[in-house]
Amino acid sequence: MEQKLRQEAKALLEQNKVDWIIGFEPGSLKFTATPLITRDKNDTERLIINPFIVNNLADFLTGIKGRVGIVAKGCDSRSIVSLIQDNKVAREDIVILAVPCLGLIDLAKIERLVDKDRDELDDITREEDKVIIKVDGQKKEFAINQTLFDHCIACELPTPQEYDILLGEPRPPAPELEVSGQNIEKLKETTPGERWEFWQNEFSRCIRCYACRNACPACFCQRCFVEETEPQWVMPVPRWQDNLIFQVVRNIHVAGRCTDCGECERVCPVNIPLRSLTREMYDIVDELFQFKSGMDKEAQPLMTHYEQEEAEDLFR
């Protein structure tokens, strides 16, 4: 897959079909990959595909001028489709290099499984349904789902639907939605007061670094409401009240565009379970309006469209 990607990417640049290639190269730390954005065809030699290509590259599309060849896993492709729906990128300006995704490995889960820091591990290899970890000269085997990000276990679209070049055998979706909803189900069994207290606690840790917003491909506003000063909607000091308002409003603003890709949760430095918000919003939107973000590029964006009769039970 990697070889094919390098060839295709190189050819795209050589034939002047794109101005840029966005993909992944090895990161500076073990078991990491880092985004590679280049116009130089020689750089394509560094492109990789492995279980650590965690970033949602669609995030870079709105900041780049020109035609782009972009490496996309299923989730990334949905974010791209969503950007197309919103006229944020033109379909003809991008070439989607589709990666049929086996799921991404969550290093935090691995660390917990073997009770070691990632730096102490010698190797992690993924096979079809298991992951083998080499540590202290020993080999340890785990079922694949023990090691993947929750959002990968619940992935509804491992292989992009929308693409130009397919880099491998398509993989059928086999989402285990329960895994994703566990936390949410538990929360729903509690009283409103308990739930509010739960989020209050979580957001008292938020340092308002805005990593969640910046990593989110659906958050593309030039000026975010949190930076407005007339009026000042939220205080810049990270108090839980304003942190919570920021995140709630962010979730509402990206409703119908958030694909529950899990980037916000992954990048949050204080481990706030943000997917327990994004997943719920994703489900609310689906339940009320039968709308799944980023699935169909011809579909009207959620918030610009309506049906004559819907959600009327909420109105007096």
Partner 1 sequence: MTQQSEWEPKLLGFLCRWCSYAGADLAGTSRKKYPANIRAIKVPCSSRVDSLFIIKALRLGFDGVLVSGCHPGDCHYLTGNYRARRRIAITKKFLEYLGVEPERIQASWVSASEGGKFAEVVTEVTGDLKKVGPNQLFAERKLAKEN
Q: Which partner, partner 1, ligand SF4, none, binds residue 270 by CB below 5 to 8 Å per kind?
A: ligand SF4
Residues 261-280 touching partner 1, rule: CB under 8 A, are 277, 280
| Chain position carrying tokens 């000063």 | 229
| Chain position carrying tokens 């694949």 | 144
Please identify which residue in 212, 281, 292, 294 interacts with partner 1, judged by CB under 8 A.
281
> Applying CB under 8 A, which part among 16-24, 122-130, 187-195, 215-223 lies near partner 1?
187-195
Q: Which partner, partner 1, ligand SF4, none, binds residue 261 by CB below 5 to 8 Å per kind?
A: ligand SF4
**Strands annotated E in the chain:** 20-26, 33-38, 68-72, 94-98, 123-126, 130-135, 138-143, 165-166
- Fill in the DSSP letter of residue 203: H
Nearer to partner 1 (CB atom), residue 141 or residue 228 = 228
Which contiguous run of DSSP H or E holds residue 85? Answer: helix 74-85
| 281 C-beta neighbours (distance < 10 Å), count | 18
Structure tokens at 264: 């916000």
Residues 248-307 touching ligand SF4, rule: CB under 6 A, are 254, 258-264, 267-270, 272, 278
Contact between 260 and 149 under an 8 Å Cβ cutoff? The reply is no
Candidates 91, 71, 79, 56; CA nearest to 258 is 79
Contact between 80 and 132 under an 8 Å Cβ cutoff? The reply is no
Q: Which partner, partner 1, ligand SF4, none, binds residue 306 by CB below 5 to 8 Å per kind?
A: partner 1
- Residue 314 binds partner 1 (CB under 8 A): yes
Cα 175 from Cα 283, distance rounded (Å): 14
> Applying CB under 6 A, which part among 26-34, 108-116, 204-212, 224-232 lies near ligand SF4?
204-212
List contacts with ligand SF4 (CB under 6 A): 206-212, 215-218, 247, 254, 258-264, 267-270, 272, 278
List contacts with partner 1 (CB under 8 A): 184, 187-188, 191-200, 225, 233, 241, 245, 248-249, 251-253, 255, 277, 280-281, 284-285, 288-289, 302-304, 306, 308, 310-312, 314-316
